[in-house]
Amino acid sequence: MKFSIKKLQIVFLITCLLALLPAGTIFAQGGIAIDGVFTDWAGMTGMVDPGGADDETDPASADITEYRIYADASGVYLLMVWDDTQFQQDSGAGITMRGADGVYYRIYAIATGNPGTVPQSGIQVYQSTDPAFPPQTTSQVCTGAACSGVTVGSGASWVDPFAGHPAGNCLGTNCSTLDTAGEFGLPWSLVGGAPAPGETVFFQYGSYPNGPGAALKDNTGSNGITVRNNNGVFSSYISTPTAVTLSSLQATAAGSNPAVIAGSLVLGVFLAALLYERKLQVKFE
């Protein structure tokens, strides 16, 4: 009898802890190898361009199709995808990140050549206090090989999420079925540090053919991907910027989060019940 109550208590406690996590949380399994092979991204949290196939034609090389994010204690891993499998002109795209330090970082990558690749020299990192990255508040963190600890892998073998769209709207022999992708590994120290337990960082993807601080062309919409540190386990999920802003505020004032309040109440009742049961046991012993 005593054993089954304990078992129930454990199940109840686990249920309470799970209830505190944001809806839609996906725990990534394993890690990402930065090697130009993309099978390790299967099942990782990603967003496909909600604009659909071939929604950017000016220039067509600025047409991006999807991105994915993975993170663990070692750093953050990004996947950026372009519709083309070859490039007549270089095509710059970037993932903009709201870092744990409240600063915005843009990880800018330039796809080039036939078949399309992103060479190590094609990676640049910028920071700004303004998410629009105006020149007066933007500075370069590093570029190319000087981006210490950054790893780059790429290739034209990503399966196009809009496979079968007209080949005339992309460049390359297999471009209606394949895309050029770059995978990048960054140490947290380069992008504002790792989020502390309970804190989040936020990512959006867009193309900037005229430079990392120039006008945004194609993008994957206003929603983005959030990475949250759940006591050392990093989860990622799709969210709105507003939800992230609120969540970030809640990370420094945890009491204001309704889910945390509800969870705390449930835990409080549970602990009270546990103490009451202990008291009864002491009484009867």
Structure-token pair, residue 145: 């090989």
Give the footprint of Ca ion on this chain (CB under 5 A): 33, 35, 37, 40, 49, 55, 63, 83, 160, 170, 175, 179, 218
Minimum separation from the CB atom of position 116 to Ca ion (A): 10
196: left (phi over 0), alpha (psi -120 to 50) or beta: beta
3-state secondary structure of 47: strand
Minimum separation from the CB atom of position 20 to Ca ion (A): 32
- The 10 Å CB-count burial string (b at 16+, else e) for 137-147 is ebeebeeeeeb
Minimum separation from the CB atom of position 82 to Ca ion (A): 8
3-state secondary structure of 258: helix
> Which is closer to Ca ion, CB of 83 or CB of 188?
83
> Which is closer to Ca ion, CB of 72 or CB of 83?
83
Minimum separation from the CB atom of position 223 to Ca ion (A): 15
> Which is closer to Ca ion, CB of 170 or CB of 251?
170
Q: How many CA atoms lie within 13 A of 149 on its CB side?
A: 12
> Which is closer to Ca ion, CB of 20 or CB of 33?
33
CB-based contact 133:213 (threshold 8 Å): yes
Minimum separation from the CB atom of position 183 to Ca ion (A): 5
- Estimate the share of the chain in helix, then strand, then coil, as percent rounded to the nearest 5: 30, 35, 40
Structure-token pair, residue 154: 């790429």
> Which is closer to Ca ion, CB of 66 or CB of 128?
66
> Which is closer to Ca ion, CB of 187 or CB of 193?
187
- The 10 Å CB-count burial string (b at 16+, else e) for 234-263 is bbbbebeeebbeebbebbeeeeebeeeeeb
Minimum separation from the CB atom of position 231 to Ca ion (A): 27
> Which is closer to Ca ion, CB of 40 or CB of 199?
40
Minimum separation from the CB atom of position 211 to Ca ion (A): 19
Tell the residue number behind the tokens 């600890």, with chain if given.
149
DSSP, res 21: S
